[in-house]
Amino acid sequence: MAQKFYIEDLNKHVGQSVELKGWVYNLRSSGKIKFLLLRDGTGLCQCVYFKGECDDASFEEFSKLTQETCVTVTGVVKEEKRSPGGYELSARTLKINAPSVDYPIGPKEHGPDFLLNNRHLWLRSKNQHAIIRLRAEIIKAIRDFFDGRGFTLVDAPIFTPSACEGTSTLFETEYFDEKAYLSQSGQLYMEAGAAAFGKVYCFGPTFRAEKSKTRRHLIEFWMVEPEVAFNDLYDNMELAEQFVEYIVQRVLKNKSEELKVLERNVEVLAKVKAPFPRLHYKEAAEIIFKENPQFKKGDDFGGTDETIISSKFEKPVFVHHYPSAIKAFYMKEDPSEPGSSMSCDLLATEGYGEIIGGGQREDDMIKLEAKVKEHGLKMEDFNWYFDLRRYGSFEHAGFGLGIERTVSWICGISHVRETIPFPRMYGRLRP
């Protein structure tokens, strides 16, 4: 009996008789010869049925195949450059395991709503497959980067009692007799982690009730958040640029096939090497104002403003020292520049927008208390957080990198909805 293999392993079994299980990806026939393009999740393999060479009943069975029928095939592995994946099966038998009637996704163009409604099936398509594999590599690179540099993984909670990133996007839920919020960011907990372990990171889902539909906002998104004791704003930017270079270069090295499927311009990515250019907020605001006179200096940047900045550079660019007034309560105000925060955002190339937000944290208890009140937050919610200032306050900095924005940039796709297996967006909870 032929042994069972996955398509990705066929290179080790040339000349051998094997069994493959998978789904019908494509079908073609011309008289005495029939071609089944088989998909098993690990790859594609062309299975060739020659009348007379394969089993007669199997040749007949072929006519019952439809897209996504689940099948078992046996045959002999041959090297074949023209076959996707480089190997072909001289097929002997075909067995239908389960039918697939009227599979909804075909080669014709479908609208985004239709595809999102069928996301559970859409994931089987070639481009989606490439994107999710790239996402998995990006996540692996993220973990390897921090694990390889002495960071300790400290998981942050999902149920939280208070806001980290402003109260307007809090997702409220019941927590027995109390109210709780789904975490907007693990940062405050990472600050506790940094005091305990020096260099830490968390990686997990975060939630923001963003009541707007944009290309860059999800309700549930994944974020990696490093936090480092005794790092200042400038150390923080250095860490961030080395980190982003590492991710991009790893993907270029390990996932060139997937980038090719997506027709990504890899020359742009090849240039993503530290150091990255850095702009003070005031310089960035000048540049934006010249092209967008409606922009008010002192305001946060919109999507088009970010694109104006990124179009001026070949590499991702840092903007630092945003006005304190438009940043979160925990940002340290620069003592040499009142009104400006020691914050930094990293804008990706080609208008993909902000992928990193972070900065140096306020370590002075009195100033932090004033900030909490200024932001209309309740001191009692932050009692534990103030302990980090009460007991050996320390200089520290960190940042958060959004996985989906990073995946959309690296893949070169315009909307974050395709960068997560099952997107949660305003107005979309299913599938």
Our finding on whether 186 is near Mg ion (CB under 5 A) is no
Within 1-97, residue ranges assigned H as helices are 56-61
Our finding on whether 423 is near ligand 4AD (CB under 6 A) is no
Question: Which of 358, 360, 408, 413 touches ligand 4AD (CB under 6 A)?
Answer: 358
Question: Exposed, middle or buried, 340 (CB in 10 Å: 0-12/13-18/19+)?
Answer: buried
101 HSE (CA, 13 A, CB side):
0
Question: Which of 7, 18, 141, 355 touches ligand 4AD (CB under 6 A)?
Answer: 355
Distances (CA, A) of 327 to 292, 300, 301, 348: 22, 9, 12, 20
Binding mask 118-157 for ligand 4AD (x = CB under 6 A): ----------------------------------------
The rounded distance, in Å, linking the Cα atoms of 69 and 306 is 46
Residue nearest to Mg ion (CB): 357
Within 292-421, residue ranges assigned H as helices are 303-310, 365-374, 383-390, 403-411
Question: Which of 92, 119, 389, 405 touches ligand 4AD (CB under 6 A)?
Answer: 405
Which residues is 90 bridged to in the sheet? 48, 76
Question: Which of 22, 193, 316, 357 touches ligand 4AD (CB under 6 A)?
Answer: 357
Backbone φ and ψ of 292, nearest 5° = -135, 85
Question: Which of 75, 226, 357, 359 touches Mg ion (CB under 5 A)?
Answer: 357
The distance of closest approach from Cβ of residue 378 to Mg ion in the complex, given in angstroms and rounded to an integer, is: 23
Segment interacting with Mg ion (CB under 5 A) among 174-182, 239-247, 356-364, 420-428: 356-364
Lookup: tokens for 31: 């008289």
Terminus-to-terminus CA distance in the chain, angstroms? 40
Given CA atoms 171, 175, 180, 181 in this order, what sign does their dihedral have?
Answer: negative
Our finding on whether 193 is near ligand 4AD (CB under 6 A) is no
Q: Residue 423 binds which one of Mg ion, ligand 4AD, none, with CB within 5 to 8 A depending on kind? A: none
Q: Residue 224 binds which one of Mg ion, ligand 4AD, none, with CB within 5 to 8 A depending on kind? A: none
Segment interacting with ligand 4AD (CB under 6 A) among 20-28, 62-70, 350-358, 381-389: 350-358
Q: Residue 208 binds which one of Mg ion, ligand 4AD, none, with CB within 5 to 8 A depending on kind? A: ligand 4AD
Our finding on whether 24 is near ligand 4AD (CB under 6 A) is no
| Element counts in the chain: helices (H) and strands (E) | 13, 17
Lookup: tokens for 401: 């990198």
Give yes or no for a contact between 329 and 371, defined as CB atoms under 8 angstroms apart.
Answer: yes
Binding mask 208-227 for ligand 4AD (x = CB under 6 A): x-x------xx--x-x-x--
DSSP-derived secondary structure for 334-352: PTTSTTBBSEEEEEPGGG-
Lookup: tokens for 310: 């990124």
- For residues 85 and 166, which CB has a smaller minimum distance to Mg ion in the complex? 166
Question: Which of 288, 356, 368, 425 touches ligand 4AD (CB under 6 A)?
Answer: 356
- For residues 20 and 142, which CB has a smaller minimum distance to ligand 4AD in the complex? 142
Question: Which of 43, 75, 316, 402 touches ligand 4AD (CB under 6 A)?
Answer: 402
Given CA atoms 312, 318, 321, 322 in this order, what sign does their dihedral have?
Answer: positive
Give yes or no for a contact between 100 and 24, defined as CB atoms under 8 angstroms apart.
Answer: yes
Our finding on whether 423 is near Mg ion (CB under 5 A) is no
Q: Residue 358 binds which one of Mg ion, ligand 4AD, none, with CB within 5 to 8 A depending on kind? A: ligand 4AD
Question: Residues in the site for Mg ion, rule: CB under 5 A?
Answer: 357
Question: Residues in the site for ligand 4AD, rule: CB under 6 A?
Answer: 164-165, 185, 187, 208, 210, 217-218, 221, 223, 225, 354-358, 398-400, 402, 404-405, 416
